[in-house]
């Protein structure tokens, strides 16, 4: 093997920072960021249909946070370096009281016109965007070779989960998302189905 070929096979430590991304990383990063863009654009469409001021405020808070996250991701993708604005922490405004149990409700069917889109629909759409982003960000983090890109995706997943949980709590208190429970006996059986390891872990 001649010297030229040998140099080409050397590690990425000698590459410029903006080129220190692997192929799989770029494919998954592109997909994740494109999905985020789609979610942000959907939020724009939803905004005009929201009726509840509380949901409107939540949607706008999400938009603000996701815009900064998007800029952080794009900068990291372009430079491969630590972004000028690091990953922020999203703090939800909902309390985390969950209403358990099922109440009778009307069967759901797809809306037949945009006028039928209500806050139940909008919050469900928001949830779909956030769940999708959390999944694609996790996959992108697992495929990232650039340590900064990986860290930005990785640190963003808890924020997306927090936003999705906030939407869930809003849906739950408005009976849009009901949470069934197992019988007490069955629940106890599941909760007690694992036992801790006693003593030291084997070496």
* pTM of the full structure: 0.86
A 10 A CB-CB count for 10 gives 9
The token pair at 136 is 């694609």
What's the pLDDT at 94? 87
Which of 11, 16, 74 minimizes the C-alpha distance to 40?
74
Cα distance between residue 162 and residue 73, in whole Å: 19
Tens digit of each residue's pLDDT (9 = 90 or more) over 81-93: 999 999 999 999 8
Report the largest interatomic distance among the alpha carbons of the chain, rounded to a whole angstrom: 76
Q: What is the pLDDT of residue 16?
A: 54
What's the pLDDT tens digit per position in 112-164?
Answer: 998 899 999 999 999 999 999 999 999 999 999 999 999 999 999 999 999 99
- The domain limits of the chain are 20-94+117-191
- Residues 179, 172 contacting (CB under 8 angstroms): yes
Name the band, by pLDDT with cuts 50, 70 and 90, for residue 17: low
* Orientation angle between helical segments 53-79 and 23-47, nearest 10 degrees: 160
Q: What is the CATH number of domain 20-94+117-191?
A: 1.20.1260.10
Per-residue pLDDT for 68 more than 60? yes
């Amino acid at each position: 093997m001649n010297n030229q070929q040998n140099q080409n096979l050397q590690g990425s430590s000698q590459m410029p920072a903006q080129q220190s991304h692997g192929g799989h990383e770029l494919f998954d990063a592109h997909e994740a960021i494109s999905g985020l863009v789609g979610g942000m654009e959907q939020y724009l469409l939803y905004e005009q249909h929201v009726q509840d001021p509380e949901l409107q405020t939540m949607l706008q808070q999400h938009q603000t946070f996701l815009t900064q996250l998007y800029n952080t991701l794009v900068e990291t993708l372009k430079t491969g370096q630590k972004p000028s604005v690091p990953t922020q922490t999203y703090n939800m405004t909902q309390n985390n009281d969950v209403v358990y149990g099922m109440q009778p409700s009307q069967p759901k069917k797809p809306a037949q016109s945009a006028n039928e889109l209500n806050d139940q629909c909008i919050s469900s759409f928001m949830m779909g965007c956030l769940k999708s982003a959390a999944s694609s960000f996790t996959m992108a983090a697992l495929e990232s070779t650039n340590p900064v890109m990986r860290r930005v995706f990785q640190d963003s997943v808890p924020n997306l989960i927090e936003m999705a949980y906030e939407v869930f709590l809003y849906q739950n208190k408005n009976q849009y998302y009901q949470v069934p429970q197992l019988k007490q006996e069955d629940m106890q059986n599941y909760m007690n189905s694992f036992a801790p390891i006693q003593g030291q872990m084997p070496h």
